[in-house]
């Protein structure tokens, strides 16, 4: 009732897209998504790469815990299983992360820790991100909020980023954009994480580059103007 007679803009950022089909296909609904592959399912959608929650602007940057104890910590924050999707073992390539973690823990022992955190308040997740050194996002080919938060907090981020996503984001941001994360695949994940674990200078460089990227491409200047345009477009559809 509270949206009756009003233009509706729907931003899709989750992974249960099929369950939302009737609502998303409703005539006159403006659909936005930062995930290019969703546009294959919903060609009526528009691509929109917005910006992280404003609360991140209020987070004071802190050094990782490794600066005091020398232990490098790698973090993954997987999506928790949904009640209707229990046959899937988490999300965001948890199995691949755990396999790489076991192999690297066996080699480097007490010099490295692998953390996995879920189901905690967002404020706690942000604190945990700052305690760790590296964030593993996912191997699905696209980037998401977990990796965006890590880069915003000056932490290097590892993920798969396929050519389809590269092309679409460069169309949106410009051909000159450089992506500051480490892109890998299942076969290269262990090697990629190990390189970052053993190279603090590389971690620092990627952390600075990632934060600069977020401040430039996920800033209100980049995010609000397109959103105003899409809101106007939604009003025209009424």
pLDDT in tens, 26-75: 666 777 888 887 777 777 788 888 766 666 777 889 999 999 999 999 99
Average pLDDT, integer, range 229-233: 81
CATH number at residue 90: 3.40.50.2000
**131 domain residue, yes or no:** yes
Number of domains composing the chain:
2
H/E segment holding residue 47 = strand 46-47
Q: Are residues 91 and 195 in the same domain?
A: yes
Phi-psi label, residue 160: left if phi above 0, alpha if psi -120 to 50, beta otherwise: beta
The 10s digit of each residue's pLDDT in 191-207 is 999 999 999 999 999 99
Give residue 16's pLDDT.
Answer: 56
Same domain, 65 and 146: yes
Name the pairing type of β-strands 134-136 and 182-183.
Answer: unpaired
- What is the per-residue pLDDT for 55? 65
User: 45 and 64 in one domain?
Assistant: no
Global pTM value: 0.84
Q: Which residue has the higher pLDDT, 14 or 43?
A: 43
- For residues 136 and 51, which has the higher predicted lDDT (pLDDT)? 136
Q: Are residues 43 and 62 in the same domain?
A: no
Neighbours of 94 (CB within 10 A): 19
Among 49-58, 108-117, 128-137, 139-148, the range scoring the smallest mean pLDDT is: 49-58
**pLDDT tops 50 at residue 227:** yes
Q: Compute the half-sphere exposure of residue 123: CA atoms within 13 Å on the CB side of its CA.
A: 1
Residue with more model confidence, 1 or 115: 115
- Give the pLDDT score at 1: 45
Same domain membership, residue 202 and residue 129: yes
Q: Is 88 contained in some domain?
A: yes
Q: Judge if 124 and 148 occupy the same domain.
A: yes
What's the CA gap between 5 and 22, in Å, rounded?
19
Note down the domain range covering 17.
9-51+220-237
Same domain, 180 and 66: yes
pLDDT at residue 15 above 60?
Answer: no
For the chain, the average pLDDT equals: 84
Residue 32 lies in a domain: yes
């Amino acid at each position: 009732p509270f949206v009756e007679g009003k233009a509706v803009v729907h931003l899709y950022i989750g992974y249960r897209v099929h369950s939302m089909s009737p609502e998303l296909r409703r005539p006159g609904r403006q659909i936005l998504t930062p995930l290019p592959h969703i546009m294959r399912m919903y060609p009526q959608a528009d691509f929109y790469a917005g910006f992280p929650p404003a609360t991140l602007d209020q987070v004071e940057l802190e050094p990782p815990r490794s600066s005091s104890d020398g232990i490098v910590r790698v973090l993954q924050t997987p999506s928790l299983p949904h009640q209707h999707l229990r046959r899937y073992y988490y999300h965001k390539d948890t199995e691949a992360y755990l396999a790489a973690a076991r192999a690297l823990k066996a080699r480097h022992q007490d010099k490295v820790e692998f953390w996995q955190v879920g189901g905690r308040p967002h404020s706690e997740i942000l604190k945990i991100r700052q305690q760790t050194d590296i964030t593993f996002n996912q191997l699905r080919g696209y980037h998401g909020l977990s990796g965006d938060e890590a880069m915003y907090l000056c932490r290097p981020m590892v993920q798969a980023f396929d050519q389809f996503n590269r092309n679409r984001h460069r169309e949106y941001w410009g051909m000159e954009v450089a992506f500051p994360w480490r892109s890998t695949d299942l076969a290269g994940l262990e090697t990629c994480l190990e390189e970052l674990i053993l190279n603090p200078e590389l971690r620092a460089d990627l952390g600075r580059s990632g934060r600069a990227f977020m401040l430039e491409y996920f800033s209100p200047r980049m995010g609000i103007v397109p959103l105003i345009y899409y809101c106007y477009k939604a009003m025209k559809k009424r």
